[in-house]
Chains A and B, each alone.
Chain A
Amino acid sequence: MTTVAPPTDVTRAPRTAARNRRRTGRFAPYVYLAPAMTLFTLFLALPIAYAVYLSLRATKVSGLGLGAGAKTEVWAGFDNYARALSDPDFIASVVRVGLYGLLLVPTMLGLALVFALLLDARRTGAKSFSRVSIFLPYAVPAVIASLLWGFLYLPRVSPFYYVFDLIGWDAPQILSSQLVIFAIANIGLWGGVGFNMIVIYTALKAIPSELYEAARLDGASELQVAWRVKVPIVTPSLILTFLFSMIATLQVFAEPMTLRPLTNTISTTWSPLMKVYRDAFVRDDIYSAAATSVIIALATFVLSFGFLRLVQRRAFSQENS
């Protein structure tokens, strides 16, 4: 971590300034950080602690389960975790979302990289139109995006089915149980490719052009410059977009929830978060929901840090030079 204001520069400043800084600067940083840390504690740290606490509790029903004192909260140890981890619905949702991520993330980042490189290439036309168009879906909330695509998937409304009809082919039922995962991944792709493209494109813009001027003068083709010079330099951006995409994948909720009314192939436990929602609010089993939440959060951390460790050398060797 780089420290932004090295203490050594006090010596450069006049003595009064140094004294001023010592006198006024002592409480100032805490004042600046107070609102953030208060909200952080109340809406991040406390909920996490509470979720962990709840995940270790359970209700015990005594007697007939009637009356105010019949239900008591008791210590449950790791029962909720054992239950969550052995729940076939949960395992199925994890497998499904894993598959969804395998479909979505490489496609999305691959396309984002290709589009960014094309935007940065010299011989591509229609650049600003394409950049704005591809980035535009980022401005459309996931719910609205799912709603629009949902209609495009509906045989009676969709232009795809209209075209298939005209040529007399049988259109694939995109909302059928086998294909619905592609339908949802497509919505994620549509919403995410432009944002990731902009991230990579920004990184490309930051490359001093002399760097690949040299390669060009040596006779490297545009393709070679892109692959050998540009891609390695934007690798840190790719790593971060991958990380954020992975975290987002684990949290998929709005898309399948919105598509549910249009098809009966999306169960209430389609994604892990949908299961958390169902347990907490439909089944009223907050303890199990809390345990599942903690498991998902831990999985996110393990995956994120594991991935960062794995690529760390690569990511930072580029930048420290």
Chain B
Amino acid sequence: MTASTLARPAARPADLKPTVRFRTERRSPLATGVLLLGAVYCLLPVVWVLVAATKNSAELFSTFTFAPSTHLWSNIQELSAYRGGLFWRWMANTALYAGVGGLLSVTVSAMAGYGLAKFQFVGKKATFNIILAGVLVPGVILAIPQYLLLAEVGLTNTYWSVLLPSVISPYGIYLARIYAAASVPDDVIEAARTDGAKEWRIFTQIATPMMIPGLVTVFLFQFVAIWNNFMLPYIMLGDDKLFPITVGLSGLLNQGATQPAMYTAVITGALLSILPLVALFLTLQRYWQVDLAAGAVKA
């Protein structure tokens, strides 16, 4: 604090570049410490699961929590052998729900967002307001009536029952509209029309590539949202071969309450299930520029 009051504007050369600051180099240990404390808190359960997955069930309850052991591989083998590889089926199901669901969702959102951002039409304002209201609808409240309606047409306990409701995302449409408005210039669309390009071609070949960075963010949002969604698959699915990983592991934990030997399987499963997501997340980190407020302003 004292450093900043010492340097008066008059004492500094006027042509000093704003990025060069002689007094910024000193680190504040307090600020850094607080931030690191937050990092430790957030990493703690992740480090714990890494260590715990290396223990067999006896060690889990007897050795020090953060003392690693050597049973990771045998734990993975045991988990893989559980009911003929059911765990890996859950992983594949999750990839299907989140991957295919996310892709379909981003396609639908991109089309709707582009339509809302780049066209004048009757009912535009009403359509947008309806979608905006949809953002505030508590998604999981819908789960029970969705279940009952899908039961009517015999789709419950199928892949469709989890996939279809995940495709519509008012928030995704809202984001896509913002990205389309911000990244696709009207002039470009006009020019393409003048050159005689068809509307659909303009959308797929010109507008979509311009929207890609934004659409990656929409995809990631949807992917994580579907991967996270617990209530919908929990309600829709009865057959454990269709479960996503979250519902599967929560079922395993339920069994663990009566037979603690299952705990090792649950812990190993938890570790294996977060690895792909963490990897995806670290690779695509730069797309996470979440500007909710800018969106709100454009609305």
List residues of chain A with CB under 8 Å of any chain B CB: 1-5, 7, 9, 13-14, 16-17, 20-21, 24-26, 28-33, 35-37, 39-40, 42-44, 46-48, 50-51, 54, 111, 114-115, 118-119, 121-127, 129-130, 132-145, 147-152, 156-159, 162, 190, 193-195, 198-199, 202-203, 205-206, 209-210, 213, 216-223, 234, 236-237, 239-241, 244, 247, 250-251, 253-254, 257-258, 261-262, 273, 276-277, 280-281, 286, 289-290, 293, 296-297, 300-301, 304, 315-316, 319
Q: Are A7 and B38 in contact (CB-based, < 8 A)?
A: no
Q: Which A residues are CB-close (under 8 A) to B81?
A: none
Chain B, residue nearest A263 (CB): B257
Give the Cβ gap from B122 to chain A, nearest Cβ, in Å. Answer: 9
A286 to B152, CA, bound (A): 14
Residues of B28-58 whose CB lies within 8 A of A:
28, 31-32, 34-36, 38-46, 48-49, 52
* Separation of A26 and B294 alpha carbons in the complex (Å): 30
B117 & A5 in contact (Cβ 8 Å cutoff): yes
- A240 B120 Cβ-Cβ under 8 A: no
Chain A contacts of B109 at CB under 8 A? Answer: 36
Could you give, for residues 216-233 of chain B, a 1 whenever the CB lies within 8 Å of some chain A CB and a 0 otherwise?
A: 000000001001101100
Report Cα–Cα, A54/B152, bound state, in Å.
Answer: 14
What's the nearest-Cβ distance from chain A to residue B232, in Å? 10
Verify if B267 is at the interface (C-beta below 8 Å from A).
Answer: yes
**CB-based contact B256/A261 at 8 Å:** yes
Q: Report the Cα distance A4→B296, complex, angstroms.
A: 14
The 5 closest A-B pairs by CB, nearest first: A32-B115, A36-B112, A47-B145, A29-B119, A133-B39
Q: B290, A199: Cβ atoms under 8 Å?
A: yes
Whether B256 contacts A141 by the Cβ 8 Å rule is no
A283 to B: closest C-beta gap in Å: 13
Q: What are 30 A-B pairs at a CB distance below 8 A?
A: A30-B115, A32-B119, A33-B111, A36-B131, A39-B167, A43-B164, A48-B145, A125-B27, A133-B40, A136-B43, A139-B278, A141-B228, A145-B45, A147-B253, A147-B270, A149-B45, A190-B42, A203-B294, A221-B4, A236-B297, A241-B292, A247-B136, A258-B253, A261-B253, A261-B257, A286-B144, A290-B145, A297-B138, A315-B296, A319-B293
**Chain A interface secondary structure, helix, strand, loop or mixed?**
helix
Residue of A nearest to B281 (CB): A139
Say yes or no: A124-B31 contact (C-beta < 8 A), given A50-B149, A130-B39, A143-B230.
yes
Check: B181 CB closer than 8 A to any chain A CB. Answer: yes
Q: Closest A residue to B98 by CB, please name it.
A: A141
Residue from A1, A37, A147 in contact with B250 in the complex, judged by beta carbons closer than 8 Å: A147
Q: Which of A205, A216, A247, A254 has the most CB of B within 10 A?
A: A254
User: Could you say which of A54, A124, A159, A247 has the most chain B C-beta atoms within 10 Å of its C-beta?
Assistant: A124
Docked Cα-Cα span, A268 to B92, in Å, equals 31
Asked whether, in the complex, the Cβ of B290 is within 8 Å of the Cβ of A44, the reply is: no
B241 located at the interface, meaning its Cβ lies under 8 Å from any Cβ of chain A in the complex: no
A35 in contact with B111 given A54-B145, A136-B43, A217-B9 (CB within 8 Å)? yes
Bitwise, B132-164 to A at CB < 8 A (1) or not (0) is 001011111110111011000000000000001
Q: Which residue of A lies closest to B39 (CB)?
A: A133
Given contacts A47-B146, A258-B250, contact A35 B108 (CB under 8 A): yes
Check if A24 sits within 8 Å of B39, measured CB to CB. no
The answer to whether B136 touches A304, judged by C-beta atoms less than 8 angstroms apart, is yes
Additional A-B contacts beyond A32-B111, A261-B253 (5; CB < 8 A): A43-B165, A134-B38, A136-B278, A139-B278, A273-B140
B residues contacting A by CB (< 8 A) are 1, 4-5, 8-9, 18, 21, 24, 26-28, 31-32, 34-36, 38-46, 48-49, 52, 60-61, 64-66, 107-109, 111-112, 114-121, 124-125, 127-128, 130-131, 134, 136-142, 144-146, 148-149, 164-165, 167-168, 170, 173, 180-181, 186, 190, 193-194, 196, 198-199, 203, 224, 227-228, 230-231, 234-235, 245-247, 249-250, 253-254, 256-257, 263, 266-267, 270, 273-274, 277-278, 280-282, 285, 288-294, 296-299
Q: A17-B194, A141-B227 are in contact. Are A115 and B35 (CB under 8 A)?
A: yes
- A17 surroundings in chain B (CB, below 8 A): 190, 193-194
Check B168–A44 contact: CB distance below 8 A: yes
Q: Are A47 and B4 in contact (CB under 8 A)?
A: no
Q: Which of A158, A293, A304 is the one whose CB lies under 8 Å from B144? A: A293
Q: Are B288 and A135 in contact (CB under 8 A)?
A: yes
Of A2, A205, A296, the contact of B138 (CB 8 Å cutoff): A296
Flag if A32 contacts B114 (CB, 8 Å).
yes
* B112–A141 touching, CB < 8 Å: no
CA distance A198 to B38 in the complex (A): 14
Q: Which residue of B lies closest to A166 (CB)?
A: B64
Is A222's CB under 8 angstroms from B1's CB? yes
- Is there an interface contact between A254 and B144, defined as CB atoms closer than 8 Å? no
| A residues less than 8 Å from B42 (CB atoms) | 133-134, 136-137, 190, 193-194
